Amino acid sequence: MNPSSEITVVLPAALHARPAGAVVRAAAGFEASVEVRHDGRTASARSALRLMSLGAGAGSTVVVAAAGVDADDAAAAVAAVLREAS
C-alpha cells in the first residue's frame, strides 16, 4: 500500500465555486489528507474557499497530493473531478 500519491492535472476551467465544492465532496469520502498545489501555494481539498484562493484558471497545472491509508484512491478521485471541472 502506498502511503502517498501525487497526480498532475491541467484544469479545463477555472477552479471556481462549483468545481471547488465538487472537490470537497470527493475528498470527504476518504481518510487521506488531500491537498491541491498551484503556483507555490497549497490548499486543503476539504476547503472550497482555500481551493478558490489558489487562483488556478483554465489551463493551469495543479498537483493533487494525498497522504494516508487510501491516498491513491483519494488523489485519483480529486484529480478526476478537476479534470472534468466546468
* Residues forming the active site: 16
Strands 41-44 and 61-67: unpaired
Q: In this structure, are residues 36 and 54 in contact, taking their beta carbons and an 8 Å threshold?
A: yes
Q: List the beta bridge partners of residue 61.
A: 10
Cell of 79: 484529480
Cα separation, 84 vs 86, in Å, equals 6
E strand or H helix that includes residue 16: none
